Amino acid sequence: MQSLVSHDRVWIDKQTPEVFHALNSVAAAVRTAAAAVDLGRAVMELVNVRVSQLNGCAYCLDIHVRAAGEAGVSAQQLAVLDAWQRSPHLYSEQERAALRIAETVTALPDEHRVEREYAAARQHLSDDQMSVLIWAATTIGAFNRVSIMSGHPVRVRKGN
Protein backbone atom coordinates (compact mmCIF):
# COMPACT_ATOMS: atom_id res chain seq x y z
CA MET A 1 0.00 0.00 0.00
CA GLN A 2 1.35 3.40 -0.96
CA SER A 3 1.65 6.12 1.68
CA LEU A 4 -0.52 9.21 1.31
CA VAL A 5 2.11 11.30 3.08
CA SER A 6 5.00 12.75 1.15
CA HIS A 7 8.41 11.94 2.56
CA ASP A 8 9.57 15.28 1.20
CA ARG A 9 7.69 17.26 3.82
CA VAL A 10 9.52 19.52 6.23
CA TRP A 11 9.04 18.44 9.83
CA ILE A 12 8.48 21.96 11.09
CA ASP A 13 8.87 20.89 14.73
CA LYS A 14 12.43 19.84 13.90
CA GLN A 15 13.17 22.60 11.38
CA THR A 16 12.15 25.43 13.72
CA PRO A 17 12.44 23.84 17.17
CA GLU A 18 12.27 27.09 19.13
CA VAL A 19 8.73 27.71 17.88
CA PHE A 20 7.72 24.12 18.63
CA HIS A 21 9.15 24.46 22.15
CA ALA A 22 7.08 27.62 22.60
CA LEU A 23 3.96 25.70 21.52
CA ASN A 24 4.82 22.97 24.05
CA SER A 25 5.14 25.68 26.71
CA VAL A 26 1.66 26.92 25.81
CA ALA A 27 0.31 23.37 26.14
CA ALA A 28 1.96 23.01 29.55
CA ALA A 29 0.45 26.32 30.68
CA VAL A 30 -2.98 25.16 29.50
CA ARG A 31 -2.62 21.91 31.50
CA THR A 32 -1.62 23.88 34.61
CA ALA A 33 -4.51 26.31 34.15
CA ALA A 34 -6.95 23.43 33.61
CA ALA A 35 -5.97 21.83 36.89
CA ALA A 36 -6.32 25.19 38.67
CA VAL A 37 -9.94 25.63 37.48
CA ASP A 38 -11.10 22.06 38.17
CA LEU A 39 -11.00 20.79 34.60
CA GLY A 40 -9.76 17.25 35.03
CA ARG A 41 -7.41 15.44 32.71
CA ALA A 42 -10.27 13.32 31.32
CA VAL A 43 -12.16 16.42 30.16
CA MET A 44 -9.03 17.86 28.60
CA GLU A 45 -8.23 14.62 26.78
CA LEU A 46 -11.81 14.42 25.46
CA VAL A 47 -11.21 17.89 24.00
CA ASN A 48 -7.87 16.82 22.51
CA VAL A 49 -9.39 13.74 20.92
CA ARG A 50 -12.47 15.53 19.58
CA VAL A 51 -10.52 18.40 18.02
CA SER A 52 -8.07 15.91 16.51
CA GLN A 53 -11.00 13.94 15.06
CA LEU A 54 -12.44 17.08 13.50
CA ASN A 55 -9.08 18.05 12.04
CA GLY A 56 -8.27 14.52 10.89
CA CYS A 57 -4.93 14.31 12.68
CA ALA A 58 -4.01 10.64 12.94
CA TYR A 59 -0.80 11.35 14.85
CA CYS A 60 -2.53 13.36 17.60
CA LEU A 61 -5.39 10.85 17.75
CA ASP A 62 -2.88 8.07 18.34
CA ILE A 63 -1.38 9.98 21.24
CA HIS A 64 -4.53 11.38 22.82
CA VAL A 65 -6.80 8.34 22.58
CA ARG A 66 -4.23 6.47 24.69
CA ALA A 67 -3.86 9.45 27.03
CA ALA A 68 -7.65 9.69 27.39
CA GLY A 69 -7.84 6.05 28.43
CA GLU A 70 -5.09 6.63 30.98
CA ALA A 71 -7.05 9.65 32.29
CA GLY A 72 -10.12 7.54 32.91
CA VAL A 73 -12.15 8.16 29.77
CA SER A 74 -14.02 4.94 29.06
CA ALA A 75 -13.62 2.93 25.86
CA GLN A 76 -17.33 3.47 25.25
CA GLN A 77 -16.97 7.26 25.53
CA LEU A 78 -14.08 7.17 23.06
CA ALA A 79 -15.95 4.87 20.69
CA VAL A 80 -18.95 7.18 20.38
CA LEU A 81 -17.18 10.52 20.78
CA ASP A 82 -17.93 11.47 17.19
CA ALA A 83 -21.64 11.24 18.12
CA TRP A 84 -21.42 12.72 21.64
CA GLN A 85 -24.43 14.97 21.05
CA ARG A 86 -26.55 11.89 20.43
CA SER A 87 -25.21 10.15 23.54
CA PRO A 88 -26.29 12.42 26.40
CA HIS A 89 -25.98 9.83 29.16
CA LEU A 90 -22.35 8.96 28.44
CA TYR A 91 -20.91 12.40 29.17
CA SER A 92 -21.26 14.72 32.14
CA GLU A 93 -22.66 18.22 31.69
CA GLN A 94 -19.13 19.60 32.06
CA GLU A 95 -17.80 17.20 29.41
CA ARG A 96 -20.65 18.09 27.05
CA ALA A 97 -20.02 21.81 27.57
CA ALA A 98 -16.29 21.30 26.96
CA LEU A 99 -16.98 19.37 23.75
CA ARG A 100 -19.42 22.05 22.60
CA ILE A 101 -16.77 24.75 23.02
CA ALA A 102 -14.04 22.58 21.44
CA GLU A 103 -16.14 22.01 18.33
CA THR A 104 -17.07 25.69 18.09
CA VAL A 105 -13.43 26.80 18.36
CA THR A 106 -12.36 24.24 15.78
CA ALA A 107 -15.10 24.88 13.21
CA LEU A 108 -15.60 28.62 13.75
CA PRO A 109 -19.16 28.43 12.42
CA ASP A 110 -21.40 31.40 11.68
CA GLU A 111 -21.77 33.97 14.46
CA HIS A 112 -25.29 32.83 15.39
CA ARG A 113 -24.09 29.30 16.08
CA VAL A 114 -21.04 30.60 17.96
CA GLU A 115 -23.35 32.64 20.22
CA ARG A 116 -25.76 29.72 20.73
CA GLU A 117 -23.03 27.17 21.54
CA TYR A 118 -21.15 29.61 23.74
CA ALA A 119 -24.30 30.42 25.73
CA ALA A 120 -25.13 26.74 26.16
CA ALA A 121 -21.62 25.95 27.40
CA ARG A 122 -21.63 28.92 29.80
CA GLN A 123 -24.45 27.26 31.74
CA HIS A 124 -21.99 24.60 32.95
CA LEU A 125 -18.59 26.31 32.87
CA SER A 126 -17.08 29.24 34.75
CA ASP A 127 -15.37 32.09 32.92
CA ASP A 128 -12.00 30.60 33.88
CA GLN A 129 -13.02 27.18 32.57
CA MET A 130 -14.30 28.69 29.32
CA SER A 131 -11.02 30.50 28.82
CA VAL A 132 -8.94 27.37 29.49
CA LEU A 133 -11.07 25.24 27.16
CA ILE A 134 -10.81 27.76 24.34
CA TRP A 135 -7.03 27.78 24.82
CA ALA A 136 -6.99 23.97 24.92
CA ALA A 137 -8.91 23.61 21.67
CA THR A 138 -6.75 26.28 20.03
CA THR A 139 -3.55 24.59 21.20
CA ILE A 140 -4.41 21.04 20.12
CA GLY A 141 -5.58 22.51 16.81
CA ALA A 142 -2.12 24.01 16.37
CA PHE A 143 -0.49 20.67 17.17
CA ASN A 144 -2.84 18.99 14.66
CA ARG A 145 -1.66 21.37 11.98
CA VAL A 146 2.01 20.84 12.85
CA SER A 147 1.61 17.06 12.57
CA ILE A 148 -0.56 17.09 9.45
CA MET A 149 1.62 19.55 7.56
CA SER A 150 4.80 17.77 8.65
CA GLY A 151 3.38 14.39 7.70
CA HIS A 152 4.16 12.82 11.07
CA PRO A 153 3.55 9.08 10.73
CA VAL A 154 1.59 6.92 13.12
CA ARG A 155 3.86 4.07 14.01
CA VAL A 156 2.42 0.61 14.48
CA ARG A 157 2.80 -0.52 18.09
CA LYS A 158 3.27 -4.17 18.91
CA GLY A 159 0.48 -5.64 20.99
CA ASN A 160 -2.14 -3.09 19.93
Q: What is the pLDDT of residue 5?
A: 53
Please state the rounded mean pLDDT for residues 118-138: 97
Fold category of 13-150 in CATH: AhpD-like (1.20.1290)
What are the boundaries of each domain within the chain?
Answer: 13-150
Long-range CB contact pairs, 37-43, < 8 A, 24+? 37/126, 37/128, 37/129, 37/132, 38/129, 39/94, 39/98, 39/129, 39/132, 39/133, 40/71, 41/71, 41/72, 42/68, 42/71, 42/72, 42/73, 42/95, 43/94, 43/95, 43/98
Q: What is the pLDDT of residue 4?
A: 53
Those residues with Cβ within 8 angstroms of residue 14's Cβ, 6 or more apart along the chain or in another chain: 20
Q: What is the pLDDT of residue 100?
A: 97
Q: What is the pLDDT of residue 157?
A: 87
Asked if the model's pLDDT at residue 2 lies above 60, the reply is no
Task: Give CA–CA dist 91/98, Å, rounded.
Answer: 10
Quick one: which of 130, 4, 19, 6 has its CA closest to 56?
4
Q: What is the pLDDT of residue 103?
A: 97
Query: pLDDT by residue (tens digit) across 30-51?
Result: 999 999 999 999 999 999 999 9
Asked if the model's pLDDT at residue 159 lies above 90, the reply is no
Please state the rounded mean pLDDT for residues 62-67: 98
The predicted model scores a pTM of 0.92
